Amino acid sequence: MKIMKIRAPKIRLGISYQMFLAPVLILSISLVALLVPQAEQALSVSHDYPAVICPGALLGGTQIISLPTKNLQIRGVSAKSSKLYATSLTQLGSNSNPTFVSGNSGSEIVFNAITSSISADGVCSVGGQSEWFIGGSAGITSAGVLNLVNSGLSESSVMIYPFTSKIALAPIPVKVKANSDSKISLSSIAPGENSVALNVVTQSGRVTSFLLDHQKQGLRELGASFVNPVFAPSKQVFIGGLFNSKAKNSSTSHLIRFLVPGNTNANISMTVYGADGSFTPLGFDQLSIAHQKVIDIDLPTLNASSPFGIEINSDQPIFASALTNTKTNGVPDYAWATQLSPISKFALNLAGSSASFVFMGKQVSLALSWQGVNGKTQRANLDSPDVAVWKPVGTIRGLTITPRVKTPIYGGAVLMNPGGASLNYLPLLANQALAGASLPTLDIRTLTHD
């Protein structure tokens, strides 16, 4: 019997199979895309508020740190500890050590009482790789100090670039130990120079800088003021609000300090804004400013009512600040006002100060909400074409400022602290800008091989 071998027929998959397979693959890829919506994006960005640093009580004075809200995480910046703890207070007593405050959308303020009659107010700061201080003096009456705060856990390297009215001086290298600070007298940075500006550049680590200008003549106090940092030059600079007294028992004078960091002289013009209108001071319609030198120019006597603001326009990027010198019943004082950044919505606590405000911009439109010492909430809206001057009745604690237009608005405050008549200027800004951090996300490419 012959056995026959039967071979299974060969099945060939041709066009019909491919036509079946293609939709299946497309459907599979579509399902993966639905399950992984970030397939087209390899990275996403997480936003958060960075921590800020408040300087310690400098020059042997006493200090209060005013927080915009309760239950913030804080710690002292010192070699002894780096542990955070929550505080239920909005006003903290401060010693000579700086204070680390966890990130939030408000603005922290320091009220530094150097003597019973002299105080200096400033904003706590995130810091930056390059900070500029356009103000201060290192002359024979100078008792000012530059405070370098390293809130990181490793040693930091800093370079200080001083500028004077004559020339840019040689840079000064400084090392700051981990979780500590260094205090350097201005008179040692630029000895004998009355007009100085500093560029503090962090080469490694996390350093936040503060400059407290303080003038004394023997035992006689001449005044004190923080010089708040700025981070970049600009062709358009806003400064405000500035105090101008017409009282018989007082006198007021102003000067503008310029620094052109580039290699070309700048041509500038200036406009003064106040409740009485706007005008250009005599000689400030077309003024040439030499580059890489500190230039001080006195403002002529102004008829503007207090307070007022300044707009400076330049054909070159510049830095500018304003110094107000006052004398009331023979007692001198002064305050530095630095260039402003655009306002975003933020809150601050003025701790019962008496304040006046100046806001400037193409269109000023703001919603204001504040609490007086009685705790009652009050509200107001400001609307003006270019400048708005606002002085609330009584003293202020909490204040929330909300812009209602997209065009930039710049604001500054004149403060008279509780218990004294010391003059202080405060820039209005949310000093905790949102920081972006890149985070990995699912990507369709991680499911395939090259």
Distance of CA 356 to the CA centre of its chain: 20
- pLDDT for 145: 96
Q: How far apart are CA 89 and CA 442, in angstroms?
A: 42
Q: Mean pLDDT, to the nearest integer, of 294-319?
A: 91
- 308 in a domain, yes or no? yes
Provide the H-helix boundaries in 200-347: none
- 448 in a domain, yes or no? no
25, pLDDT greater than 60: no
Q: Among the listed ranges 268-282, 399-413, 430-444, which one has the minimum average pLDDT value?
A: 430-444
- 423 in a domain, yes or no? yes
Domain enclosing residue 96, as ranges:
47-436
* Identity at 372, one-letter amino acid code: G
For the chain, the domain total comes to 1
In 3D space, the residue among 243, 250, 240, 357 whose CA is nearest the CA of residue 306 turns out to be 243
Label residue 372 by pLDDT band (50, 70, 90). Answer: confident
- pLDDT for 308: 93
Label residue 449 by pLDDT band (50, 70, 90). Answer: very low
- pLDDT for 418: 58
Half-sphere exposure of 255 (CA within 13 A, CB side): 13
- 197 in a domain, yes or no? yes
- pLDDT for 40: 38
- pLDDT for 431: 57
CA distances from 406 to 239, 341, 379, 399, 413 (A): 20, 14, 21, 21, 22
Classify burial at 410, counting beta carbons within 10 Å of its beta carbon; exposed 0-12, middle 13-18, buried 19 or more: buried
- pLDDT for 420: 53
Encoded tokens for 137: 């003096």
110, pLDDT greater than 70: yes
- 102 in a domain, yes or no? yes
Across 285-289, 317-321, 325-329, 346-350, the highest mean pLDDT is recorded for 317-321
For 54-81, how does the pLDDT look when each residue is reduced to its tens digit (9 = 90+)? 999 988 778 999 999 888 999 999 867 7
- 38 in a domain, yes or no? no
- pLDDT for 440: 40
- 99 in a domain, yes or no? yes
For 35-52, how does the pLDDT look when each residue is reduced to its tens digit (9 = 90+)? 444 433 443 333 467 889
Which DSSP helix (H) or strand (E) runs through 309?
Answer: strand 308-328
Label residue 417 by pLDDT band (50, 70, 90). Answer: low
- pLDDT for 408: 95
Apex 392 CA angle, 388 and 394, nearest 5: 160
Label residue 250 by pLDDT band (50, 70, 90). Answer: confident
Long-range CB contact pairs, 261-265, < 8 A, 24+: 261/199, 261/233, 261/291, 261/292, 261/317, 261/318, 261/319, 262/233, 262/291, 262/292, 262/316, 262/317, 263/291, 263/292, 264/291, 264/316, 265/289, 265/290, 265/291, 265/316
- 362 in a domain, yes or no? yes
Which regions of 124-274 does DSSP assign to beta strands (E)?
A: 130-133, 145-150, 156-164, 172-176, 180-185, 196-204, 207-217, 220-227, 234-242, 250-259, 266-274
Q: Among the listed ranges 146-150, 160-164, 321-325, 433-437, which one has the minimum average pLDDT value?
A: 433-437
Q: How far apart are CA 213 and CA 226, in angstroms?
A: 6
17, pLDDT greater than 80: no
For 121-136, how does the pLDDT look when each residue is reduced to its tens digit (9 = 90+)? 999 999 889 999 999 9
Q: Mean pLDDT, to the nearest integer, of 226-246?
A: 92
Q: Among the listed ranges 38-47, 224-233, 316-325, which one has the minimum average pLDDT value?
A: 38-47
Q: How far apart are CA 152 and CA 119, in angstroms?
A: 29
Ramachandran region, residue 188 (left: φ > 0; alpha: ψ -120 to 50; beta: rest):
alpha
Mean pLDDT rounded to a whole number for the chain: 84
